Amino acid sequence: MSGEDGGAWQIVHVPGRPPVPPDQQLTVNVVAAQIEQPKLTNTIIRRLSQIAPLEDLHHVKRVKKKCIEGGQIQLSVILCLAPENGDFDGIPCDVKDVINSYQLSPFVAKVCKYAASSKEEWVEQCKLWPTSYHPPTYNISGITGFSEEDSQSVVSFMKYALELAKSHGNVVVNAAAIVDPLSNQVIARACDEVCSLQTPKTEASAECGGPGQVKTSISCLHPRWWVDEQTGRSSSFCHPLRHAAIVAIESSAARDRRLFPDVRYKDESTIEECVLSPANSQVKRQKTDANDVDNDDKNDTAYGNGDLSSRPYLCTGNDIYLVWEPCIMCAMALVHQRIRRVFYACPNPSAGALGSVHRLQGEKSLNHHYAVFRVVVPQDVLDKVELSMISGS
Amino acid sequence: METDNIASSERFSPEILGFMQLAIDQAKLALDSLEVPVGCVIVEDGNVIAAGRNRTNETRNATRHAEMEALDVLIIQWQRTGFTAAEVAEKFSACSLYVTCEPCIMCAAALSIIGIKEVYYGCANDKFGGCGSILSLHSSSSEAGISIGNCGSKGFKCCGGIMASEAVSLLRDFYEQGNPNAPKPHRSRVTQA
Ligand SMILES: [Zn+2]
Ligand SMILES: [Zn+2]
């Protein structure tokens, strides 16, 4: 894994279906030819798209440009699909006419049969013959790469999440930060609240604090950990479903209700205390958190003074930063809340739903699709936040 | 694991139909509150111990599905009683959930995490269903659990198609009247599911 040399941060797109190794991508044969006179290119292409359109190869570019010595550009064009038997006699008559009238020398070339599902796949495809890259979520920024400025912003929010995960003394937990990329603000943040050992200001007990035990306290890695013998016997459990992402969504919803109050639901505070907050201690702490976030809200110019026309719909347009790849419950919760992009630092081989065990971002039936990125954290940064031992790297 | 999608309700016992009727009553409450009409009840030893209905519009939290609402009621109550995690797990393992629509992927995962005994549902959920429609989380026990005791996921018994037409007609009523809480027309389909 690339963090090991201490090296650079990397942001890797995690596509909706497993990437196909470059040497295993299916290809088809086409008949192509070099164009010796570049000024004829447009005329030839226009003629070919009429007589031999590439019906099932819309992702394949008709023309390939290649820089050769002396700054010269060599152009090749796809004439048609290669005849089944590979015999050029099988080339359609119209195409033969083009070959003859421009004195082309046809040759067989390979192109990729299917459109690329990731940038990596696309880069490999283009080595064979150029293709275009339009994944279903292609309009989400970042899929085709990040600008320097955007990368730095991603890195700084991931650092924020890493610090958050570390803020629980010796107990390592998952952490989540929901970010509005327009205002570059953290609008909600949370850590796991499954077990009271994970709540802030609690001394880590011998049961959970030891290095060997730390790993299992991360909710999304082992969702059934809460019934584990060690935790099961203590009476200090909090809530088996309060994984960091779930709590962060709850917090962003509370912020939405604060910024854009709805007169129809006056008894809101009662609901929040009775239904949404499992323990008295947590109610207190949430109030403290809410105060912090309230202060943030005062600086929040993006949404004005709760003007309903600017009210965001759920988390549309927002990103979430998670230290660990979410479990299937959390991943689906993020779909429901309409998150735009999910960034996680560490893969979750036991229960990860965004690439490791499931690949929820590729489920076509869902009504919303977010883009998923893994942020590879350099080893020295992991060391600094003392997560290296459990990062899975 | 059985996922029995039989439209006819005659095949189900009066007890099952009775509990599903209570879940439908919850769904109607949701409809009255301008929420996507899905409701549920949780049953222990033949008694309803919790009920829930969808509150996604009210809370602006799209994860507040009926199942999550009902599970939270019990978790908070048992926590206040002072039960240990082991006791809570034991209680959930004796509970049945009756819900008007197939639990979505999120709720199915949550039910597996808390270790519910069994789920009876009304109509299938062909967009988000986590009990057979899209994923089958009820029938998967993860291998990760082997090395670390109870840490993986736990399967549960699942049976669908109970009073499905009633559940569907409530959903149809909701979508025909539109979702009045949605700020813009294209947002009119906030779905619990
Ligand atoms: Zn989770
Ligand atoms: Zn659900």
Its ipTM equals 0.88
pLDDT of A68 > 70? The answer is yes
- CB contact residues (below 8 A), chain A span 295-334, against chain B: 308-309, 311, 313-314, 327-329, 332-333
How far does B135 lie from chain A, in Å, by closest CA?
10
Q: Are residues A166 and A237 in the same domain?
A: yes
**Residues in the 5 Å CB sphere of ion ligand 2:** B 65, 104, 107
B171 half-sphere exposure, CB direction, 13 A CA radius: 20
Q: Is B67 noted as a catalytic residue in this protein? A: yes
Range of the domain at A205: 148-391
The answer to whether residues A274 and A198 belong to one domain is yes
Q: Is residue A130 part of a domain?
A: no
Burial of A170 (0-12, 13-18, 19+ CB in 10 A): middle
- DSSP conformation class of A18: P
Q: Is the pLDDT of residue A205 over 60?
A: no
SS3 at position A35: strand
Lowest mean pLDDT among A308-312, A336-340, B91-95, B185-189: B185-189
Tokens of A282: 């947590």
Q: At what angle do helices A41-51 and A93-101 cross, to 10 degrees?
A: 170
Residue type, A242: R
CA distance A316 to B188: 15
Q: Are residues A106 and A153 in the same domain?
A: no
> Is residue A218 domain-shared with residue A316, that is, in the same domain?
yes
Do A272 and A355 lie in one domain? The reply is yes
Comparing C-alpha atoms, which of A83, A76, A43 is closest to residue A62? A76
Total structural domains within chain A:
2
More confident residue, A21 or B110: B110
DSSP codes, chain B:
------S-GGGS-HHHHHHHHHHHHHHHHHHHTTS---EEEEEETTEEEEEEE--HHHHT-TT--HHHHHHHHHHHHHHHHT--HHHHHHHHTTEEEEEEE--BHHHHHHHHHHT-SEEEEEE--TTTBTBTTS-BGGG---THHHHTTT-S----EEE--TTHHHHHHHHHHHHHH--TT-SSGGG------
Whether the per-residue pLDDT at A106 is higher than 90: the answer is yes
CA B183 to chain CA centroid, Å, is: 27
Q: Judge whether A226 is closer than 8 Å to chain B, CB to CB.
A: yes
pLDDT of the residue at B113: 95
Q: Are residues A244 and A108 in the same domain?
A: no
Mean pLDDT, rounded, for A331-349? 97
**One domain, residues A213 and A263:** yes
- Residue that finishes a domain, picked among A113, A131, A159: A113
- Inside any domain, residue A302: yes
From the CA of B104, how far away is ligand 2's center (Å)?
A: 4
Q: Cβ distance A197 to A344 under 8 Å?
A: no
Ranking A175-189, A224-238, B30-44 by mean pLDDT, the lowest is A224-238
C-alpha B136 to ligand 2 mean position (Å)? 14
Domain stops at, among A113, A132, A159 = A113
Q: Distance between CA A383 and CA B8 in Å, rounded? A: 60
CATH number at residue A215: 3.40.140.10
Whether A135 is in a domain gets the answer: no
Centre of ligand 2 to C-alpha B168, Å, is: 16
Q: Which among A235, A256, A314 has CB closest to B84?
A: A235
How confident is the model at residue A351, as a pLDDT? 94
| Residue A10 within a domain | no
- Is B77 part of the contact surface with chain A (CB cutoff 8 Å)? no
Taking the C-alpha atoms of residue A374 and residue A344, their distance in angstroms, rounded to an integer, is 5
CA distances from B38 to A41, A318, A351, B95 (A): 61, 27, 28, 19
Asked if A106 and A169 sit in the same domain, the reply is no
User: Residue A139 and residue A321: Cα distance in Å, rounded?
Assistant: 20
Confidence of residue A233 (pLDDT cuts 50, 70, 90): low
Catalytic residue, candidates B2, B10, B15, B67: B67
Same domain as A160, residue A99: no
The answer as to CATH 3.20.20.70 being correct for domain B14-177 is no
Tens-digit pLDDT profile for residues A70-101: 888 889 999 999 988 878 888 999 999 999 99
Q: Identify the three-state secondary structure at position A206.
A: helix
- Alpha-carbon distance of A327 to B64, in angstroms, equals 18
Each residue of A117-164: pLDDT tens digit? 777 788 888 888 999 887 656 567 777 788 889 999 999 999 999 999
**Spacing of C-alpha B37 from chain mean position:** 12
Calculate how far, in angstroms, residue A219's C-alpha sits from the geometric centre of ligand 1. Answer: 6
User: Does residue A127 lie in a domain region?
Assistant: no
Q: Which residues of A touch B152 (CB under 8 A)?
A: 222-224, 350-351
Domain annotation covers residue A329: yes
Shared domain check, A173 and A95:
no
What does pLDDT average to over chain A? 79
Q: Are residues A101 and A190 in the same domain?
A: no
**Better-predicted residue by pLDDT, A347 or A140:** A347
